[in-house]
Amino acid sequence: MDTKLNTQLLESLLTITGRPAPAREEVRVWSMSGVERLTFPDRTMAIFKYARKPFDCEDQALRLAHNLGIPVPQVLASAVQDGWLGMLLEDLGSPIREADDLDGAAAAVVLHRTRSAASLPVLDEHGLRALPGRALDHLGQLRKEERWQDADDIQDSLERIAQGADARSAGATVAPFGWVHSEFHPTSLHIGQRGWRLLDFARAFTGPGLLDLASWHGTVDAPDPVRLRALLESYVTEGGTPDALAERGGLAAEKWALGWHRIWAVEWFMEQSIRWINDPASDPAYTRVVRRHLTDALQLLEA
């Protein structure tokens, strides 16, 4: 995002809220979004968050979540300019501690108990089955641009997963099925003086809540079904549905969740490569991640 557009977007938000120009401090910035902390002359503070597609509807998701009782930061104002979303959010301050697994289980229970919202995109059994095919389509587009030419192994893995997807996607709508945060990590759960708030709702959808729990421990390390099983059991203890522990698609819940979460991530990374980032220089990094996730998914889904 260029500096001029960034400034214009912030000025629009300040006009909407009637606030004076603040001091600005970058918190996190990358090519598709950024976060700044604003300090106004009266020493009050707010968060300025900006993002482009496909993250440009987060204000709607946050307002919807707030209206349905999900603890989230309040959206003070939002505006769109030249394809970029800008939001002024309440500043929650510094967290008092990092979120742990018990915090994650309890927050997931609250999120997944919230009634589903018709405006959110849906990922059901049909949607899961379509993921490997969509990833193959992305691969075809990349190859048309003479990229990912050495990715025959990626194609083979996706085709193997696609062949078994009908059977393995069974149980996608078994409870918990509804709100899915989709970026559910300890860094997205703010533990503050006034309780907890969920952050980063840019890619929320309606789908299997187990995908949130599978994402909690991240994807940098190898998937750990035993660790996820413990988290699922904590989730049930905290009031989550016992069906979270039920087998689905012929697999234990933890293997099913970790396997499909990896496929969901693969499709997302490949879409970024061809559509959102579309930078050939980043291809080696993306192919490494995709290969690693596919290796995990083949083992977890027993494809």
Domain ranges of the chain: 3-90, 101-300
pTM: 0.94
Give the pLDDT of residue 35: 95
CATH number for the domain whose boundaries are 101-300: 3.90.1200
Tell me yes or no: is domain 3-90 CATH 3.20.20.60.
Answer: no
Give the pLDDT of residue 4: 85
- Angle subtended by helix axes 152-168 and 125-144, to nearest 10: 170
Give the pLDDT of residue 5: 86
Give the pLDDT of residue 44: 96
> What are the residue ranges in the chain where pLDDT is below 70?
1
Give the pLDDT of residue 31: 80
**∠ CA 45-46-48 to the nearest 5 degrees?**
140
CA-based R_g, the chain, Å:
20
Give the pLDDT of residue 1: 67
